[in-house]
Structure 1
Amino acid sequence: MTVDTLPPRMRIVRHPLKYRLLEVRKVDRITPSTVRVTFGGEELEGFCEQAPTDHVKLCFAEDGAELPVEPVVVNDTWMDAPVEPITRDYTVRHYRRDTRELDVDMVLHGRGVASSWAERAEPGMRLGVLGPRGSEVLPMVHDWYLLAAEETALPALARWLEKLPAGVRVIAFAEVAGPEDEQEFRTATDLTMTWLHRGSAPAGTTDLLERAIRAAELPADGLGFAWVAGEATSLKPVRRYLRRELGLAKEQVDVDGYWKRGVENHDHHEDEEHEHA
């Protein structure tokens, strides 16, 4: 590979770190397992988002409390404090600057703090939102894209499909429990979309995404980019396949563990397997 053909690198664009206490304006059950919560408020003035994987930390209240603990932000840095907020990472699904509304899709899976909150969410409730801290911006100049995700990463998958250039070749896979959990995505790309159904198997326990990616007929020519997100442990063989067996350069692969089975609040930023550059 010559210098002229090196893949473009992802760059990080930092945003001012701000905490916002927002009010729920609307709640929609878009599939049996996914709730779309629309937040609003004047505090959304200045909210920044620009990349498919942009995410915020939702800050939840302690049991018995009405409002979450506010994180301590000093000089654009989240500082340690005696009492920290309960946080979970969520992708920005939509942000409408004109109406100052933020959509976040929340998967209902068990009795965790976020899932339990989403189950009972209704207009008028308030929740803390921190970030986004930054955007991972990839020049969208590739000839083709391989995208794969399970439920927790479907909002980011949808954003990829909405933001990629018209007519570009995209091969996409999405794993959900069954056909009732499939979603409609808007895109101007040349998309081949395949839904994978795991049935009664728990999320994060199957190799459906790996097998689909291995069997995919990817273009033989041109510069490609692969983005895959979901349960961290199940994605390790996917990363090895894309890098070692398929031979994609590290700049062409972003495999991100959004969550990890058995870990309550997995931080994908600290995942040693999370590889962009």
Structure 2
Amino acid sequence: MTTPTEATHSIRDLTVQRVRHPLKMRMLRVVRTRLVSPQLLRVTLHGADLADFVSASFDDHVKVFFPQGGADRPDLPEVGPNGPVFAEGQPRPPARDYTPRRYDPVARELDIEFVLHGDGPASTWAARAKPGQYLGIGGPRGSFVVPTAFDWHLLVGDETALPAIGRRLEELGTGTRALVVVEVPDAAAEIPLPSAANVEVHWLHRGDAPEGSLLEPALRKIALPHGEGYVWAAGESAAIKLVRQHLVTERGIAKTRIRASSYWKRGAAAVHETLED
């Protein structure tokens, strides 16, 4: 005999979907900033250009364009039939990929969180950000939509993954279990992660250890729940590759049930890519 719970589970749609969005460039203005932790700054952007903004997944990213050379605003590319088109003979504005942390369509506000690590155009700009300044935003060009109906969700990453992890936990409802493994510099970098789900958080303090080096060893000590699960992992490229390899080869998790991304790569700049094979 099939119980009501089993029947509900049998008809769940656990299909991961890719959704495309029209590419649009937006010029937005800073309205406020707030330190979420000593290392994480939330910047709230506002503008009429947000009227048709869409972000369908916690995994989304937008391209953020920064002013350069003392300019008030960044020079945004035009959108051509094959993507962004930059002005010939002009230097391209510095740009990095970031998670849309929160979008309010009524207030036309978009929150983006920046890790303050002391170098690079994004961190340098964020450390000095003030209301009235401008940023350019491109995208998202598409969304990788992971259903919330899985029995459990494993979310893994370093501090650069916290905006996406925080957004995902807010999306999960009651009756869902989430395991979170996050590596941060120290206890001061821990932040609240509210959720209606049953959440188990493992904070890892790396101290002087290399970024990402604690993630895979910590996962080896964690028992995964029964049922249908999905894994999302993001952070330093080499560290997340090790995480994915461990989950696939030693835990037997299907590659179709893992979304692993390199948010940055040690020794390289502006790296953001999905890790697949």
Identify the residue that residue 226 of structure 1 maps to in structure 2.
231
Task: Let me know the Cα RMSD of the aligned residues.
Answer: 2.0
Identify the residue that residue 183 of structure 1 maps to in structure 2.
191
Identify the residue that residue 112 of structure 1 maps to in structure 2.
120
Equivalent residue in structure 2 for 1:10, among 2, 16, 22 = 16
Moved more, 157-166 or 90-99: 157-166
Partner-residue secondary structure (3-state), 1:266: coil
Using the TM superposition, give the Cα deviation of residue 79 of structure 1 relative to its aligned residue in structure 2, in angstroms.
3.2
Name the CA shift for 1:196/1:10 in 2 (closer, same or farther; >3 Å): same
Using the TM superposition, give the Cα deviation of residue 80 of structure 1 relative to its aligned residue in structure 2, in angstroms.
5.5
Deviation above 6 Å: which 4+ runs of structure 1? 4-7
Equivalent residue in structure 1 for 2:68, among 53, 57, 62 = 62
Q: Is the 1:27–1:37 contact (alpha carbons within 8 Å) kept by the matching residues of 2?
A: yes
Q: How far apart, in 1, do the equivalents of 2:241 and 2:48 lie?
A: 42
Using the TM superposition, give the Cα deviation of residue 207 of structure 1 relative to its aligned residue in structure 2, in angstroms.
2.0
Unaligned ranges ≥5, structure 2: 1-9
Q: Is the 2:177–2:199 contact (alpha carbons within 8 Å) kept by the matching residues of 1?
A: yes
Q: Does 1:167 align with 2:144?
A: no
Q: Is the 1:227–1:253 contact (alpha carbons within 8 Å) kept by the matching residues of 2?
A: yes
Give, as a single letter, the amino acid of the residue that structure 2 aligns with 1:77: G
Q: How do 1:1-277 residues align onto structure 2 when only pairs under 5 Å count?
A: 8-75=14-81, 77-79=83-85, 81-82=87-88, 83=90, 84-202=92-210, 204=211, 206-219=212-225, 221-269=226-274, 273-274=275-276
Q: Is the 1:34–1:107 contact (alpha carbons within 8 Å) kept by the matching residues of 2?
A: yes
Using the TM superposition, give the Cα deviation of residue 81 of structure 1 relative to its aligned residue in structure 2, in angstroms.
4.6
Q: Is the 2:261–2:272 contact (alpha carbons within 8 Å) kept by the matching residues of 1?
A: no
Using the TM superposition, give the Cα deviation of residue 118 of structure 1 relative to its aligned residue in structure 2, in angstroms.
0.3
TM-score by length of 1: 0.90
Moved more, 152-161 or 132-141: 132-141
Q: How far apart, in 2, do the equivalents of 1:6 and 1:263 lie?
A: 41
Partner-residue secondary structure (3-state), 1:234: helix
Using the TM superposition, give the Cα deviation of residue 167 of structure 1 relative to its aligned residue in structure 2, in angstroms.
2.1
Using the TM superposition, give the Cα deviation of residue 267 of structure 1 relative to its aligned residue in structure 2, in angstroms.
3.1
Q: How far apart, in 2, do the equivalents of 1:138 and 1:177 lie?
A: 29
Q: How far apart, in 2, do the equivalents of 1:124 and 1:67 lie?
A: 11
Q: Is the 1:167–1:189 contact (alpha carbons within 8 Å) kept by the matching residues of 2?
A: yes
Using the TM superposition, give the Cα deviation of residue 36 of structure 1 relative to its aligned residue in structure 2, in angstroms.
0.5
Using the TM superposition, give the Cα deviation of residue 142 of structure 1 relative to its aligned residue in structure 2, in angstroms.
1.4
Q: Is the 2:46–2:110 contact (alpha carbons within 8 Å) kept by the matching residues of 1?
A: yes
Using the TM superposition, give the Cα deviation of residue 170 of structure 1 relative to its aligned residue in structure 2, in angstroms.
1.2
Q: Is the 1:16–1:76 contact (alpha carbons within 8 Å) kept by the matching residues of 2?
A: no
Partner-residue secondary structure (3-state), 2:52: coil
Using the TM superposition, give the Cα deviation of residue 110 of structure 1 relative to its aligned residue in structure 2, in angstroms.
2.3
- The total of aligned residue pairs comes to 266
Q: How far apart, in 2, do the equivalents of 1:253 and 1:5 lie?
A: 21
Using the TM superposition, give the Cα deviation of residue 50 of structure 1 relative to its aligned residue in structure 2, in angstroms.
1.6
Partner-residue secondary structure (3-state), 2:68: coil
